[in-house]
Amino acid sequence: MARNQTAQNQRTSKNPLVIGTFNTTSLRLLTGTLGPLNKVVGTADTNQYSNGGHGQGDMNHWFQINLLAPGWIITRKGGPRPNYIQVSAYDMNRKPIEGRMIFQADSLSTTNQDGDVYYPYAGQVMGAGSNLYNNNFDNARLDKGNSLYFAFEPGSYLLCISSTRNERLDYTLGVVAEIVSDDLFLLTENTDGGFLLFEPSQDNNILLDPGPGFNVNLYHDHSLTEWTQAWQRERSPGDELPEVFIPLTTRA
């Protein structure tokens, strides 16, 4: 199949660039340039009665990600000027996305066993009368029980990279399509110690029964080894994982 040669300045949300269809964890590094151009635009590009003018350039780049299995889509902006680049995500599966207010530090307080006051939901998403978020708060979890951290269902998702400046800007965006793992984890009593991973082998069969309330998909971390293997699997041997991804990893 011929490669799609449509330029980004000719793409919209209706014809985004598909960067992959994934059923295993995969990483992409997107680079590009946004902003206006001062180019002569002739009558063929404007109205037939116009003498032309100056313009062109693009302020948005559109990309599509297709998930064949439940997973997360994780993005991180790189250099050179990430504060001037905005990344937006959209669900293309006709599922409603509703905005939610964010808890501030003084929004909702509680007291622990030692009598200290703390704010469990600070920086988290507020609930609403429908499909509540944060209804299973757990201080021992990285996501605090916030259901916005749950994996996406299989389907298509849209990323839009936008410039917030009226000047030419180069951007770098790391994108991870992280598919839900089938590995089994044993939750220990030491909540700071993470998880123990058991892999069955021919010589050692281990049966785990963590209880009916355990859901492996809710205990989510990011493996540097897994991401590195996923990066090198689709590239030349020895191609190192870009630095933009490394701060997102939570375990070796």
The pair of structure tokens assigned to 197 is 């991973």
| CA 111 centroid distance within chain | 33
- What type of residue is 12? T
CA–CA distance, 121 with 107 (Å, rounded to integer): 8
The tens digit of pLDDT for each residue in 3-48 reads 567 887 778 888 999 999 999 999 999 999 998 887 776 655 555 5
What's the pLDDT at 198?
Answer: 46
**What are the residues whose beta carbons fall under 8 Å from the beta carbon of 210, sequence distance 6 or more?**
186, 187
Return the pLDDT at 89. 86
Which carries the bigger pLDDT value, residue 136 or residue 172? Answer: 172
Residue 148, classified by CB atoms within 10 Å of its CB into exposed (0-12), middle (13-18) or buried (19+), is: exposed
Residues 6+ apart with CB under 8 A from 203: none
Residue pLDDT, tens place only, 186-217: 445 544 444 444 444 445 444 444 555 555 55
Q: Residue 246 to residues 46, 67, 90: CA-CA distances in angstroms?
A: 46, 23, 25
Amino acid (one-letter) located at 198 = F
Class of domain 1-93+153-180: mainly beta
pLDDT at 205: 47
* pLDDT attached to residue 48: 58
Delimit the domains of the chain by residue range: 1-93+153-180, 99-150
pLDDT in tens, 138-188: 666 655 666 556 678 899 999 999 999 989 999 999 999 999 776 544 445
CB 152 within 8 A of CB 70: yes
Amino acid at 8: Q
d(CA 8, CA 3): 14
For 86-127, what is each residue's pLDDT tens digit? 998 888 876 655 555 666 666 667 777 788 877 777 766 665
How far, in whole angstroms, is CA 12 from its chain's centroid? 20
The pLDDT assigned to 101 comes to: 65
